[in-house]
Amino acid sequence: MALALSNFAQDVSVFFIEDGVLQLLVPQNPTVIDAKAYYKTFAALEFYDIENIYVCKQSLLQRGIETSQLCIPVTLIEHEDLSKLLSKQQHVMSF
Amino acid sequence: MILHKISASPFTHQSLQHCLHRIDEIDGLLLTQDAVYAVIHRSLNSKLAELGSVFVLKEDAEARGVHVKSNNIQLISYAEFVELSLKYEKVMSW
């Protein structure tokens, strides 16, 4: 969805919060349960000029995950910054 | 003698916590799907270590990149899951 929107020259930001941060954890091997390895598509975000990739710092901490364990470079944000950043967006879609 | 089966993430859902409050010593606990993330949950991890029979579905842990380091947690296959469901009198899905 993010990739599709960027094709229409929209300024897209992606936020990973709560269990969403687990999507970025590597190494994963989703093929063993016949799931798609779509974490691999996150690397394509930068080629679509999607550079605002935000990850909630507290969500990572709670799950004992460090940024070095994530599959792409991200911008860490504090809990309280999320609401400010979200309010700046024209449209918000949750997955 | 019940096999308690959890499938939801303990970070988003309370089902594992609810189960742990009520689980009996002779019962077994099976973590499947997003419940395998309990292994990286700091406070729950120590509670799991106190239980006698904790099982994690190997495929689901591997798919999510979750590494089971604890000695008291047994990684099991789908075939062993079927065997367990027969070994225990009942299976309770939370």
Q: Give residue-wise pLDDT tens across range A15-48.
A: 999 999 999 999 999 999 999 998 999 999 998 8
Encoded tokens for B78 = 């789908």
Of all residues in chain B, the percent with pLDDT exceeding 70 is 100
Q: Give residue-wise pLDDT tens across range B24-38.
A: 999 999 999 999 999
For chain B, list the domains and their CATH numbers: 2-93 (3.40.1260.10)
Contact B64 A28 (CB under 8 A): yes
Partners of A26 on chain B (C-beta within 8 Å) are 65
Query: Could you tell me the residue ranges of all domains in chain A?
Result: 2-88
- Complex-level ipTM: 0.75
Q: How far is the C-alpha of A31 from the C-alpha of A88, rounded, in Å?
A: 37
Q: How far is the C-alpha of B45 from the C-alpha of B28, rounded, in Å?
A: 16
**Are the beta carbons of B55 and B35 closer than 8 angstroms?**
no
In the CATH scheme, what architecture does the domain A2-88 have? 3-Layer(aba) Sandwich (3.40)
Task: State the CB neighbour count (10 A cutoff) for residue B41.
Answer: 19
Partners of B42 on chain A (C-beta within 8 Å) are 64
**Are the beta carbons of B5 and B30 closer than 8 angstroms?**
yes
Q: Rounding to the nearest 10 degrees, give the CA dihedral for residues B56, A95, A29, B81.
A: 30
The confidence score (pLDDT) of residue A9 equals 72
Phi, psi of B90 (to 5 degrees): -140, 155
Partners of A34 on chain B (C-beta within 8 Å) are none
